[in-house]
Amino acid sequence: MTSRVKHTMLRHVIAALALATTALAATGTSGQAPADEYFGPFKYSAISVRTKIGALGRAYDQRWQDDDSIVHDAGLVESSLRVWAQRYPNDSWLAPTLLHLAQLYQKVQTQVARNHSRAMYQLLAQTFPKSKEAHLARLRLQQGFPPLHSESPVSPTPNPYASAAPATSVPPSAEPNVTPASAASTMPSAAAKASSAPSPQPTTSMKP
């Protein structure tokens, strides 16, 4: 093999390595977000964002949190989600996550939550127009939102560590106070027993 051929092969190898490096760099900035990368001021990862949306949905369904608290916490998640979308715009998890967050906002029966929901549906339809989630977002925006309705009251979160109620005990004052003297007075005497016993009847003999 001549030196010219070797030089040509080396150039091809270098070019292939450069293309591979460029592809890897593009994947790192616009593909799937790593599980250990955190976004926004509150440092949620992509997995944490999805998990938190689900947890807030359960908190609403079970009425463990009031509406304002849920909207506030959802806003923290939204801030991380937007940074995630900026860094990894081709992440396949983004469209489903945007839809879930929009649906969470829609559940909450306040006008503030509805405004957030509409903004999420619009962002989804504009950013991922060809996705099935964007189709659902466009349908919701076209049909509008159902009217706001009243909600059940908020109940406190069950405490799994709460101890069982102690058994009720009888107070000492309610217990009968039995003394030896009173016990003896309640026992019938031997004379009383004898007097109360029936006396034997005399037997009469029958003569023929």
Q: pLDDT tier at 10 (50, 70, 90 boundaries)?
A: low
39 φ/ψ angles, rounded to the nearest 5 degrees: -125, 150
Q: What is the pLDDT of residues 66-115, one digit of tens each?
A: 999 999 999 999 999 999 999 999 999 999 999 999 999 999 999 999 99
* Residue 77 near residue 88, CB atoms below 8 Å: no
Q: Tell me what pLDDT residue 176 has.
A: 54
Q: Residue 178 pLDDT more than 90?
A: no
User: Whole-prediction pTM value?
Assistant: 0.64
| H/E element, 44 | strand 44-45
Question: Are 128 and 92 within 8 A, CB to CB?
Answer: no
What is the maximum alpha-carbon separation in the chain?
164
Q: Does domain 33-143 have CATH number 1.25.40?
A: yes
